[in-house]
Structures are given as C-alpha cells and as structure tokens.
Structure 1
Amino acid sequence: MAKFVVTPANEAQRDAWMDRTVPAVERVRPGLWSIPVPIPINPLRYVLVYALELPDGVAIIDAGWNTDEAYDGLVAGLRVAGYEITDVKGVLVTHIHPDHYGLAGRIREVSGAWIALHPKDAALVHERYDDSAIDQLVEKERRLLVKAGVPALTLDELAGASMMIRHMVSMAKPDRLVEDGERLGLPGWDLRAVWTPGHSPGHLCFVSESRRLLFSGDHVLAKITPIVAVHPQSGPNPLADYLDSLAAVRKFDVEEVLPAHEYRFLELAERVDYVMAHHDERLAEVERAAQGLSCWDIATRLTWSRPWETIPPFMRRSANGETLAHLVWLEAKGRVRRQAGEPDLWFADVR
C-alpha cells in the first residue's frame, strides 16, 4: 500500500512528535488552545488537551492521566492561555481510557466542572475502575485469553496487565451523558457530538461545522492507528463498529483535524481512506494466517511494528485483542470459521 503522509497543521508540533519531545502550548485560533499534558512511562508521551474559551472560563476536551506531573502540566498550560484550573467549567471526555479520563475527577474536585461521557463508556466505569468490581473484569479477561490460546505460563500476567495503570484514574462518575448528534450548548461554540465506537464502545468525536474543525480523540490520528480489540468491555464486533465510524466522520467538510495524540493535520478524508485500506490489508493477512491456528498463534505470525519477541506483555495482549477483532470481522463476513474449544481454532477454508 502506497504511503500517505498527512499535512501537519503546525510543523513545529509535528517536529516535536518526530523528535520525541513535547510541543509548546499553542493558541490554535481565537478562543482555542492546545495543551500537551504529559503521559508518564508511555511512548505516546502526552495527550493533547484542547481548551475552548467560554464567557466565564473554559471547557476542555479530555484531561490526561491522574498523576501530579500531568496535573501540573495541565495547570501550567491553562495559565499560558490565561486561565486557572478553577476556570474549567466542563470536561468533555472522548473515551474512558486513563490518558483521557484519568484526571477528570480531580479537575471536578478543584473546579466544580461537570464531566461528560457517552452512555456506552459511562456504563463501563464501575467495572473498570471500581476496586470492588475489578477482580470480575480480570477473570473475564483471563477466560477470553484462554479461548484465544495464550500460553499458560503467561496467562495470569496478561490477564492482569492493565492493573499497573489503574491508579492513573481518579474514579469519577459522569455528570452528563452525551448522545450521538447532541449539541453541547457551549456558549460561542456550535460543537456537536459524533459517536464513533471502535477504539472504545462510547468513543466521541466533536465537530464544529462553522469553524470546520473535528476534535477526533483517538479515532483518527496523523500517523498511528488506534487499538481496536476484542476484550471483555468491547462490543461483539469492534472492528465493524470502527470502520463504520470512520465512514461516519469522513463526510465532514473540515479543514483541520485535532487529535488527542501526535499532531494536528489537514486531510481528514484522505487519512480515513488510508486507515481503511490499512485494515483491508490487515484483514487479508489475518485471513491468510488462519490455517487451523489459535488467535494467539496467528498474532505471533503477523507483521507488527517490532519483532514479536520484543513486544512487552501489555502490548502483546493488545495485539492478541486486535487480531481477534479482525478474525471476528472476517467470521461475520463468512471468510473464516471458528472451531470452538480451548483454544478456539480459526480456518480460512470456508465452504
């Protein structure tokens, strides 16, 4: 597949990503600021929090992880824009992963801001982040990994791999549930929510038709593609959801895409087309590998950004979940079949 490179909206921001540094706080345009908030011990390095100026303060899109470093980075960034953390009136969370949702509760404690989520993600908060429920979620993950064929020696390690980042979230139930197509009612902004499930069941993007902007969260990024995986809290066919969601945002006539990671860019439709083509190629690769193997064994045979042996356990679990998402999509299309067992085996010789 021919490489397609998006045009950065700000070359300095792109250069910071490529140089593995952190970009500057930036006034994107009147009334809108981009604030990089550090993500500790993570190759993404930062989440881009967007501050939208209101008559009485700011609303922010996403928040960052719940660490002192992230909190201090957000406070400092808001001050560059001329605001204090107490000026935050609302936190629009694109989805409940820790680097987007983690600081929301702490911000609300300090400022009284409301927190908004899509209902599909709001329904997952208790099981994912409440100490009383987490053991059940880990057991569900363990059962899924058994069916996928994960070796017994690494099963427990992979089942609990996400426990190391749970403390990066300040448990906070949302004050507001935002549905697909809902107008946010922020003074001075014609922001509308777009439900884009796939990366998470309740992922939201936000579009402003008048300013021709799309705040894309993790749904559409400049260089990498988001993890779309089968796991205990995913939908039954998350890749189908994701591809449908890509088609849903492709139609927007925007001049700039503002993602949560990497850097802002210009070509929405072309980037969407490229990501869709990438998944077409990946589906074909998975289909070729489905020769009576488990999901885990198929995953070890696929092309990844680094050799399988060097991928850490948490990312191996994600790779297994992504492989399963492609297998489930292929199964729904009749291109592979599943032989149920422990593990399930997958065959591309469908007749």
Structure 2
Amino acid sequence: MTQVPGAGVTDHGGGVWSIAVPIPDNPLGHTLVHLLDTDRGPVLVDTGWDDPDSWDVLVAGLAACGADVADMYGVLLTHHHPDHHGLSARVRAASGAWLAMHEADAHVVRRTREYPMERWYGYMADKLTAAGAPAAHVAPLLAARDAGRTPRLAAHLPALPDRPLPPGELLDLPGRRLRAVWTPGHTPGHVCLHLEEAHPARLPGRGRLFSGDHLLPGITPHIGLYEDPDDSTVTDPLGDYLDSLERVGRLGAAEVLPAHQHAFAHAPDRVRELLAHHEARLAGLRALLAEPRTPWQLAERMEWNRPWADIPAGSRTIAVSEAEAHLRRLVKLGRAEAVPGSEPVAYVAV
C-alpha cells in the first residue's frame, strides 16, 4: 500500500487504488472511491458526493492513478446514498460508462425520481406521527407540503442505473475475478464486492473486499427504514444487517477496502466486534423498555454522538428510524411487544 503525495490517493497494489473524495459539511470527511483496472478499461467502485469540489478531487485523483475520467468503462455502486452515487451521472456523461446497482436500491432510486415530493412529505409526517413525534417536529413537513414548497430539480435527481448488480455472480470484468455479495441492512440493496484474487502483499485470507458502508474499521453504519408507501411489508433491516455481517465474515477476506476511514485486515474479528456491539445495544434498549415507550421516546434516550437536545431536526428523524429498526428486531426476537391499544403505539419489554 503506497500513498501518492498530495493527491489523497492510495495505491493498494494489484491494479487497485483509492481516492479520498470529500463530502461537504459532513463529519465523515470523505468517501473512499476505488479504482479497479480491468482488461476492458478502468472501473470505479462508487463515485462520491455530487459537488464541484468533490468532482475536481475525483478527476485529479484519477490522474494521479494514471487514468482519465473519460476512460471509465463502468461504475459499480455499493448502494444508492449520495456520498456513493452522487457523481455517477457526471462520470457517465463524461465517459459513457455504465452504472450498475443492486435492484433493491435501483427501486429506491426510481421511487425517489417518480413519486411527487408532496407525497413524500405527507408520508414522512404520517410515519413520524405514528412513531410519537411531537407536533412541533412534524409541523414543518406538513407546512412545506401544503404550501407546495417541494420543488423537484431534475439536475439533482439520482441517476438511474443502466444494469443490475446480480449477487452471487462473477461480474463481467475481463481480467478480474470480482463477485457481488448482497449485504442488505444499511440500504435494502447494499452490496460488497469480493475480489477473489491473491492479495498483492500475500496477506493470508481470501482476496480483498470492497465493503462500502457495510463493514467499517471504527464506526457502525446507520441502520434505518427504507419503506415504500405502496408496500405494507414489515421489514427487519437490523436483522438483515446482522445476517449480512455473518455472511461477510465467512468470506475470510485478507483485507477490507471500505468506503470510509481506512483499509484493514482481520475482517472476521471486526465482524465479531460488530455483532457483539449490536447485541449489547439491543440489551440496553430492552432495558429502556422496562416501561412503555414510543419509538420517539426511545430515540430520545438512546446513546448518540451528542445529546438529544443538540441533534437537529433532520438528524432526529434519522435517529427515530434507527430506533424503529431496533424495535422491530426486539419484537421479532420476542424480547419486546407493542402495548395493545396504545396511540401512538408504544412498546414494552417482555
């Protein structure tokens, strides 16, 4: 592994590089966009946030790798979040590259593009009200919906992928052995990409894993709800995430190349740490449910990276989504249940 001076670029060997593409006004700092050489041309794993400065860093980083954005053959998207998918349309326009994404996340992208924004505002308001959010938190959503302040700017719509990213199959990348591994949880269609080739530094294990946001060395990804207003299915994203973690741990990758922080080895050890972390967190939340609480009341008492009073409104909405994901796991495990007749619905430990 070699750092390229002044370029935010790391040469991981074997035709793999990472480029630290900045995320504006975000404590994560940057997304690690990976470049993979193939016999048909270079391929990107994710693209970074749609921002002029981020684009300039991506282009300069590719140049430091000896590549040009116009030469890109394809883009493999680990998931649809804007710090991964944001620059995809611009890369495609500059190069003609195809964009590949798991169908479950492609569905989210299509839904985002097609549904009227006022419907989303109303749906979010209804979900938050059902979760026990106070009227003051919901009111701005309803006001924006009712006043028609829901513009849809085509330039900011997420790009539609050109092709699916089928899990379990070797991808059509001449000269490389790269297999998509479906790892739902952080998003419904999150994928990791397993490079089934000997590690260039001969580290013990089975190749390298582009892990997106699924497996990170020092933080845990947000696990929330991605539901369709037209679909009444009760999902279990935290259960999906924990199952996916175990699946990734069994791969035994020699090295993990995540989308944030830094590359690391000993993936099975990190998987065990994360499984233990979530088990402890579920136990702590069950203790909070010694008395009935709504998802909002639970979120208020959960441990975040700052006090609840300091969390802005948009982030509180995300926090409540994470609380609901944990509640669903507790209910499915038989450790909590809804209180009959409660409105909004409260939950209690059993």
- The answer to whether TM tops 0.5 is yes
2:344 corresponds in structure 1 to 343
User: Comparing 332-341 with 28-37, which one deviates more in the overlay?
Assistant: 332-341
Does 1:148 find its partner at 2:142?
A: no
Say which SS state the counterpart of residue 198 (structure 1) adopts. coil
Alignment of 1:44-63 (within 5 A): 44-63=28-47
Cα 1:154–1:64 change in 2 (3 A) is: same
2:315 corresponds in structure 1 to 315
Does 1:217 find its partner at 2:201?
A: no
Cα 1:70–1:170 change in 2 (3 A) is: farther
Residue identity matched to 1:239: L
Q: Deviations over 1:67-105 (max 9, x none)?
A: 111111110100001111101110100000111111111
Conserved 8 A contact 2:121-2:141: no
Alignment of 1:197-208 (within 5 A): 197-208=184-195
User: Comparing 267-276 with 307-316, which one deviates more in the overlay?
Assistant: 307-316
Alignment of 1:113-124 (within 5 A): 113-124=97-108
CA positional deviation for 1:217 = 0.2
2:237 corresponds in structure 1 to 238
Cα 1:197–1:41 change in 2 (3 A) is: same
Conserved 8 A contact 1:98-1:168: no
Cα 1:273–1:242 change in 2 (3 A) is: same
Say which SS state the counterpart of residue 262 (structure 2) adopts. coil
Q: Deviations over 1:219-254 (max 9, x none)?
A: 000111000012435971100100000011000121
Conserved 8 A contact 1:146-1:342: no
Alignment of 1:265-280 (within 5 A): 265-280=264-279
Residue identity matched to 1:144: K
CA positional deviation for 1:314 = 2.1
Alignment of 1:1-351 (within 5 A): 24-130=8-114, 132-157=115-140, 169-211=156-198, 212-233=207-228, 236-290=235-289, 291-339=291-339, 341-348=342-349, 350=350
Cα 1:102–1:33 change in 2 (3 A) is: same
Say which SS state the counterpart of residue 42 (structure 2) adopts. strand
CA positional deviation for 1:318 = 1.6
Q: Deviations over 1:177-212 (max 9, x none)?
A: 012102112122100000000000000000012231
Conserved 8 A contact 1:157-1:313: no
Alignment size in residue pairs: 329
* TM-score calculated relative to the size of structure 2: 0.88
CA positional deviation for 1:139 = 2.1
Say which SS state the counterpart of residue 265 (structure 1) adopts. coil
**Distance in 2 between residues matched to 1:235 and 1:175, nearest whole Å:** 29
* TM-score calculated relative to the size of structure 1: 0.87
**Distance in 2 between residues matched to 1:168 and 1:260, nearest whole Å:** 25
**Distance in 2 between residues matched to 1:98 and 1:272, nearest whole Å:** 25
Say which SS state the counterpart of residue 274 (structure 2) adopts. helix
Cα 1:87–1:138 change in 2 (3 A) is: same
Cα 1:199–1:24 change in 2 (3 A) is: same
**Distance in 2 between residues matched to 1:156 and 1:26, nearest whole Å:** 47
1:16 corresponds in structure 2 to none
**Distance in 2 between residues matched to 1:151 and 1:322, nearest whole Å:** 17
Residue identity matched to 2:244: S
Question: How large is the Cα RMSD of the aligned pairs?
Answer: 2.4
**Distance in 2 between residues matched to 1:89 and 1:235, nearest whole Å:** 38
CA positional deviation for 1:312 = 2.0
Unaligned runs of 5+ in 2: 145-149, 199-206
Cα 1:57–1:235 change in 2 (3 A) is: farther
Conserved 8 A contact 1:183-1:191: yes
Cα 1:168–1:158 change in 2 (3 A) is: farther
CA positional deviation for 1:323 = 1.0
Q: Which has the higher contact order (CA 8 A, sep 6+)?
A: 1
**Distance in 2 between residues matched to 1:310 and 1:219, nearest whole Å:** 27
Q: Deviations over 1:244-266 (max 9, x none)?
A: 00011000121110000111111
Q: Deviations over 1:262-319 (max 9, x none)?
A: 1111120111111111111111111111111111111111222221111222222221
Say which SS state the counterpart of residue 33 (structure 1) adopts. strand
Conserved 8 A contact 1:141-1:231: no
Say which SS state the counterpart of residue 258 (structure 1) adopts. strand
Conserved 8 A contact 1:140-1:232: no
CA positional deviation for 1:54 = 2.1
Conserved 8 A contact 2:50-2:87: yes
Unaligned runs of 5+ in 1: 1-8, 14-21
Identity of aligned residues (%): 41
1:18 corresponds in structure 2 to none
